[in-house]
Amino acid sequence: MLSGYIAGAIMKQEVILVLDCGATNVRAIAVNRQGKIVARASTPNASDIAMENNTWHQWSLDAILQRFADCCRQINSELTECHIRGIAVTTFGVDGALVDKQGNLLYPIISWKCPRTAAVMDNIERLISAQRLQAISGVGAFSFNTLYKLVWLKENHPQLLERAHAWLFISSLINHRLTGEFTTDITMAGTSQMLDIQQRDFSPQILQATGIPRRLFPRLVEAGEQIGTLQNSAAAMLGLPVGIPVISAGHDTQFALFGAGAEQNEPVLSSGTWEILMVRSAQVDTSLLSQYAGSTCELDSQAWLYNPGMQWLASGVLEWVRKLFWTAETPWQMLIEEARLIAPGADGVKMQCDLLSCQNAGWQGVTLNTTRGHFYRAALEGLTAQLQRNLQMLEKSGTLKPLNYC
């Protein structure tokens, strides 16, 4: 099969197949050497409600893999004249699961939107200070951080940590299903709050303080490093040839920065369910960053570069507003047109958009004359103001040179 795969590559257009698992959509995208998209397919993604508690959220790995399979089969006819040089998996950060020696999940993948880890974050000071955590890892205090998931599992299901062969981030769970290899994408580890960001390895100090064993984390692989090759069962599922090289990618944010063509010290806004304002930098003062709420720092896709920045819930807010006042399927243009009818300032209606951690989140200034267009415009204006504040915070932190505003 592998020799047939190589022989069939002669004189065909070369492409890389990107399997992109986002929080709201799963996509398969074929890109050629010039960066042009040759084929793409997308299908909605969604977390599931946990059986243990109807306020908890988790991901189904099998469902995600099936969505990838559906997307790949949709574009297969467009790839008949292409040679797939490699497959790269990119996903949202932080989430993952404990697995056994065969790679089977020992516990479901806890979603970043699950509230169960908020109490762990609130009480982390009993193990290690939040300021020290960010100084070492670069990652700010967000309730969805991988560290808090593992501490929660240790406190609530300690036997699973003892039984576990490994912790695999969601990108590595998918890569394992494709190749059979146990690895850790370093760009994913950089989101975990467990890495020593300067040493580019898991922090002994953080792991010792929290009681998380280092043995759980398989070998770190750099972006661009080959993990393995596409195995028979995965190839059959995706409708692809056996033997395609599988290349490490990892956290989607880092590849949004790279794909945007950003040079060092240029701010880039990666906008999705989460909005992340980041800079590609050769140096970072993580102790200084920790003074700013919402700040974080991750590892760039290029070794020895850093991505300090600010992150906040963005289109996730807008999606919630749409479902609240319209439906999840209502075209966005309809919302935009209704908001356009409202004057700037939304007639005094304002929105605090931090729906995850602020008790005062929501709207103020609502009257009997307020329409759903007001609510949506206030959300747009609230997120715009948040972007401006966070850009100014990056400037104050010394990460970014002051910009001229129009």
Span 360-399, pLDDT tens digits: 999 999 999 999 999 999 999 999 999 999 888 888 766 6
Is residue 392 assigned to a domain?
no
Asked if 321 and 182 sit in the same domain, the reply is no
- Bridge partners of 245? 229
Is residue 191 assigned to a domain?
yes
Asked if 229 and 272 sit in the same domain, the reply is no
pLDDT-derived band at 260, boundaries 50, 70, 90: confident
Q: How high is the pLDDT of residue 339?
A: 98
Q: Which one, of 272, 230, 232, lies nearest residue 253 by Cα?
A: 272
Say if residues 272 and 159 touch (Cβ distance below 8 Å): no
| Cα separation, 4 vs 379, whole angstroms | 54
Asked if 8 and 127 sit in the same domain, the reply is yes
Higher pLDDT, 45 or 9: 45
Is residue 146 assigned to a domain?
yes
Chain segment 58-84, per-residue pLDDT in tens: 999 999 999 999 999 999 999 999 999
Structure tokens at 344: 């700037």
Is residue 395 assigned to a domain?
no
Question: Is residue 404 predicted with pLDDT exceeding 60?
Answer: no
pLDDT-derived band at 294, boundaries 50, 70, 90: confident
pLDDT-derived band at 29, boundaries 50, 70, 90: very high
Kindly provide the b/e burial profile for residues 282-310, where b requires at least 16 CB atoms within 10 angstroms of the residue's own CB. eebebeebbebebbbbbbbbbeebbbbbb
pLDDT-derived band at 403, boundaries 50, 70, 90: low
Asked if 59 and 183 sit in the same domain, the reply is yes
Is residue 68 assigned to a domain?
yes
| Cα separation, 299 vs 79, whole angstroms | 33
Q: Which domain holds residue 274?
A: 263-312
Question: Is residue 232 predicted with pLDDT exceeding 90?
Answer: yes
The mean per-residue pLDDT over the stretch 296-319 comes to 93
Question: Is residue 4 predicted with pLDDT exceeding 90?
Answer: no
The mean per-residue pLDDT over the stretch 241-246 comes to 98
Domain boundary residue among 231, 255, 279? 255
Asked if 218 and 323 sit in the same domain, the reply is no
Question: Is residue 2 predicted with pLDDT exceeding 50?
Answer: no
Is residue 397 assigned to a domain?
no
Is residue 249 assigned to a domain?
yes
Q: How many domains does the chain have?
A: 3
Q: How high is the pLDDT of residue 317?
A: 96
| Cα separation, 3 vs 62, whole angstroms | 30
Asked if 271 and 374 sit in the same domain, the reply is no
Chain segment 114-166, per-residue pLDDT in tens: 999 999 999 999 999 999 999 999 999 999 999 999 999 999 999 999 999 99
Say if residues 352 and 317 touch (Cβ distance below 8 Å): no
Asked if 121 and 8 sit in the same domain, the reply is yes
Question: Is residue 9 predicted with pLDDT exceeding 60?
Answer: no
Higher pLDDT, 292 or 44: 44
CATH label of the domain that carries residue 114? 3.30.420.40
Q: Which one, of 326, 182, 164, 170, lies nearest residue 252 by Cα?
A: 170
Q: How high is the pLDDT of residue 399?
A: 67
Domain boundary residue among 212, 238, 255? 255
Asked if 221 and 367 sit in the same domain, the reply is no
Say if residues 163 and 100 touch (Cβ distance below 8 Å): yes
Asked if 300 and 334 sit in the same domain, the reply is no
The mean per-residue pLDDT over the stretch 18-33 comes to 96
pLDDT-derived band at 6, boundaries 50, 70, 90: low
Q: Which one, of 14, 59, 379, lies nearest residue 6 by Cα?
A: 14
Close Cβ partners of 254 (under 8 Å, ≥ 6 residues apart): 187, 190, 223, 298, 299, 300, 301, 307
Asked if 354 and 237 sit in the same domain, the reply is no
| Cα separation, 170 vs 13, whole angstroms | 30
Can you give the pTM of this predicted structure? 0.84
Higher pLDDT, 5 or 224: 224
Is residue 375 assigned to a domain?
yes
Percent of the chain with pLDDT over 70: 95
pLDDT-derived band at 218, boundaries 50, 70, 90: very high
Asked if 229 and 375 sit in the same domain, the reply is no
Asked if 120 and 194 sit in the same domain, the reply is yes
Whole-number average pLDDT of the chain = 93
Close Cβ partners of 134 (under 8 Å, ≥ 6 residues apart): 140, 141, 193, 286, 287, 289, 290, 295, 296
